[in-house]
Structure 1
Amino acid sequence: MKYVLGHKNPDTDSIISAIAMADFLGDGYMPARSGDLNKESLFVLNEFGIESPELPELNEVEGFVLVDHNQEAQMFDGLDKSKIEMIVDHHNLGGLALLSPIFIRIEPTGCTATIIYKLYKEAAREIPENIKKLLLASILSDTLNFSSPTGTEADKMVANEIARETSIKIDEFAAKMFKAKSDLTGMPISRVVSADYKEFEMGKFNVGIGVFETVDPAPALERKGEIVEAVRELQQEAGVDYIFFAVVDIVVDMAYLIMPTDKEKEVATAIFKGDLEDDVLKIPGVVSRKKQMVPSLQKYLENV
């Protein structure tokens, strides 16, 4: 068995890209997940009657196809890099070293799903109806319905084409997805902090950045004290040099950056223009970890 696998702490694009790419590759390839699904991903799969992928069985695997990531820190724990045969991604290439050449498709799109849609079209393959709908959901999720600077014209073109073919109303469906994404009901604060958490190498430092995207930041910000404590615990567990957690208001395009120590505050206030109050830096216009937070932090920390 060969697994198609997204990154740890999977988001909707990571899960859907694994499902769609496994369908594209065909027999012998199975979608898998590298962690628990978030509420948005569960909503999407339930909406279209798709079962959630299982965790991979590493003792049975013959090969891996990685989607939506390529940095080693974001790979499933215990994954044998020598068995990676393909990467399909929309993030910057993160210094992965392999012993053998592999197929790599990386494009600066808003999500991996758009690239997979292109693969179907280039191969003149019919896309199953349920896969089309999943790909649309993935695009809307990763681009925040095109309110994020990560979105591209290619993403918009694919989304509009799928919407026409499936009769899905983009704004209405996106609103339902984002409502599910924002729901904190029954979620321990440790899960809120870690559900969309990634680690990056920035110069000589390892940096962790968690994000919680929501249409209403108030319920999360009311638990700021709990979040700070959970972020500190995650930093100790992960062993990163710096850690940041952003509550992102996707309605008004505002990031509330929560920082556990003065070290993070010193870095963040040197980079981002915003108001700092009680461990929270309010940053207007920032919604994207990939396009805004990571590049700014990387540029600063690589010169420290």
Structure 2
Amino acid sequence: MSAYIFGHTTPDSDSIIGALSLSYLKNQLGEDTIPVRQGEVNPETAFILERFGFEAPALKTEFAGENVYLIDFMERSQSPKDIDEATILGIVDHHKMGDLKTDTPLEMWVRPVGCSNTIVKEMFDHHNVKIPKELAGMMMCAILSDTVIFKSPTCTKTDTKAVKELAEIAGIENPKELGMEMFIVKSDVLNDTKEALVLRDFKDFNMGGNTIGVGQLEVVDLSVFDNMKEELFAAMQKIKDEADRHTVLLLLTDIMQEGSQLLVLSNDNSKIESAFEMTLDDNQVWLPKVMSRKKQVIPFLEKQF
């Protein structure tokens, strides 16, 4: 019986490439695994897949009765709806402990690093399995994406070391240059609907019985959003209403200025203001040096809720 490997809903590059890289490793170790995805491939990930000649994993959203590995998440809110009917064999993640439970022991590789693919790289090293050239290139790109080309506060020396070693395997002389190419692709926000933009990198969190949705768009120039704020807020309101979310936040992150414009729709703005010790102006505020949803946003929100 094959085991499926997948990342969170609305997957990013780390989730998609992590499923591919972890599946390759597991198959080399004699397991029968299949990489899949829970959602659509975003433009950055499509760029990476095409650059290194890979196809996107198949879309699969139901896993009742299946054996599964999870990568890049362990939150129920980011899982398939029938996750309780699946057997979780293992988790590879770089986030905080989530609220999933298992009936049986499982393999866990959880490290406080900037990217799940950094952990997969360590797993390859641990098992002494060689990484194919093109897969190494994709794993390198996933790490550059998640660490915002090493600018994110989540980035560690382990991540930078992994990028250096993966770049050598892939024959890439200037990883940062390729990273900027990726972020230029990621900055294309003109060809999607506003709802698709909000959901491009969107995660739900259960905080004190409230559903809090947080999206993030990373660009090289924040001015691209100047004429679309009203439409973004309208899309956020639709997303908030359709799932009875308490709050929907959207981080517009400028990787050159190293900060984020935070857009807020909430049943209680005071909780958001208290979380970040600031005052909203027209439901938005600039947060200097805030680059990481995982490290600089979610922990502060959870204390409020």
Q: Same-fold call, TM > 0.5?
A: yes
1:34 is displaced (CA, Å) by: 0.8
CA contact (8 A) 2:94 2:116 kept: yes
Aligned-CA RMSD value: 1.7
The size of the alignment, in residue pairs, is 300
1:59 is displaced (CA, Å) by: 6.8
Code of the residue aligned with 2:219 in structure 1: it is T
Counterpart CA distance in 2 for 1:41 and 1:112 is: 15
Please list the CA deviations of residues 201-254 of structure 1 after superposition, one character each: whole Å capped at 9, or x if unmatched: 223332111111111222224211111111111111222222211111111111
Code of the residue aligned with 2:7 in structure 1: it is G
Show the counterpart of 1:4: 5
Show the counterpart of 1:181: 186
Show the counterpart of 1:204: 209
Cα 1:259–1:179 shift into 2, 3 Å: same
Q: Which runs of 5+ in 1 are unaligned?
A: none
Query: What are the within-5 Å matches in structure 2 for residues 236-255 of structure 1?
Result: 236-255=241-260
Query: What are the within-5 Å matches in structure 2 for residues 21-32 of structure 1?
Result: 21-26=22-27, 28-32=32-36
Show the counterpart of 1:280: 284
Q: Does 1:172 align with 2:172?
A: no
Show the counterpart of 2:150: 146
Counterpart CA distance in 2 for 1:236 and 1:57 is: 23
Counterpart CA distance in 2 for 1:262 and 1:126 is: 51
Q: Which runs of 5+ in 2 are unaligned?
A: none
Code of the residue aligned with 2:209 in structure 1: it is K
Counterpart CA distance in 1 for 2:109 and 2:267 is: 40
CA contact (8 A) 2:18 2:116 kept: yes
Show the counterpart of 1:97: 101
Structure-2-length-normalised TM-score: 0.93
1:55 is displaced (CA, Å) by: 1.0
**Structure 1, 133-142 or 60-69: larger mean CA deviation:** 60-69
CA contact (8 A) 1:196 1:211 kept: yes
Please list the CA deviations of residues 20-53 of structure 1 after superposition, one character each: whole Å capped at 9, or x if unmatched: 0000011521110110011100000000010011
Counterpart CA distance in 1 for 2:100 and 2:226 is: 37
Aligned to 1:174, the other structure's residue is in SS state helix
CA contact (8 A) 1:82 1:98 kept: no
- Residue 162 of structure 1, aligned match among 160, 166, 173: 166
**Structure 1, 239-248 or 59-68: larger mean CA deviation:** 59-68
Show the counterpart of 2:114: 110
Structure-1-length-normalised TM-score: 0.93
Cα 1:179–1:282 shift into 2, 3 Å: same
Code of the residue aligned with 2:203 in structure 1: it is K
- Residue 240 of structure 2, aligned match among 210, 235, 238: 235
Aligned to 2:262, the other structure's residue is in SS state strand
Show the counterpart of 2:57: 53
Show the counterpart of 2:20: 19
Aligned to 2:300, the other structure's residue is in SS state helix
